[in-house]
Structures are given as structure tokens and as C-alpha cells.
Amino acid sequence: MNYHFLFHLRKYVIFCGTKNGWWQHSLIDEGANQILTYIFSRTAPQATYNTAVKIAQKMHDTKIGKDKFHLFRFPNNEEENLHYFLASENCDYSLTANEPNSIAVNYSPNFQQGAFIIQEKDEDTLLAKMLVGYKYAFENNFEIYPYFIHHEFK
């Protein structure tokens, strides 16, 4: 799995989802940054990212259900691998609207508001399809919650 892309996709969705009012928190405003910098002087951006991931995970779980996997809840082994990847890299945890670079996919389902399944066994293609869906939703001002059923990735 491309953990670099997964990390940047999460940051992109957190930032745009917050700006579009998908979840109620103000972690990307200056006041929140000042408070977190005071509490976590050396790791404020990482603390902001981790907190925002938990908020987005809870919102997705509420809309989809905890028994399904989504952008903010991958199988445990993949979440652990992402954690190890982030620990070994010098990552920029700042939340921005920068769209991550993705593989090209020909994917244009009939997007509708709410939860829908993406059936894909290739993890990089799954992430690219999620990006297409989220980007479309942000541009058209509605909420989506794509999910997938656990399976072994290629």
C-alpha cells in the first residue's frame, strides 16, 4: 500500500471536510493551533492530525458503521504499517487543501450523498477512487462516505 498517499489523502479530506462543515471542530483555525502548540510544543501539528483523524473516523463510523472499513479505518495491520511508516518518515502533519498525487483511474460512478461501497482489491486503485469521490463531493457541496469490505489486498 502507498502509505504516503494514504497519509496525504487523509490530510486532504480532513482539511476540505472541515472547511465544508462535514464535522464540527475547529482544528485548522489559528486559535486551535495556538492552544495545541502550547500543550504539545514540539508535536502540535501531529497532535492536530491525530485528533482530526479520530474525529473523521468517528463521523465515518456513525454514517457507515464500525463493521466496515473506510479512509479513516483500515484493517489493523494496515493502520499499524501506516503508523510505522509515519514514525520512520519526516512527515509534514500540517493540514492543507493540497490534493495528493494519485494514479489515474477511470472512475465515475453515480455519486450520491451518504455512504456507498467501493469494490476494489488493489489498494492503490481503492485510494485513487476514494480521492475521485471525495473531490467530487467537495466540489459539489455534499457529503459522501465511501467504504470497503475487508479483504486481502494484492
44 pLDDT exceeds 80?
Answer: no
Total residue length of the chain? 154
pLDDT in tens, 67-76: 899 999 999 9
Encode 82-96: b = buried (16+ Cβ within 10 Å), e = exposed: beebbeeeebebebe
* Of the candidate ranges 37-51, 68-82, 129-143, the one whose mean pLDDT is the lowest: 37-51
The pLDDT assigned to 11 comes to 92
134 pLDDT exceeds 70?
Answer: yes
- Domain map (residue ranges) of the chain: 3-148
Render 99-111 in DSSP notation, one character per residue.
PPP----------
Q: What pTM was computed for the model? A: 0.85
CA 90 to chain centre: 19
pLDDT in tens, 86-108: 988 888 877 777 778 766 666 66
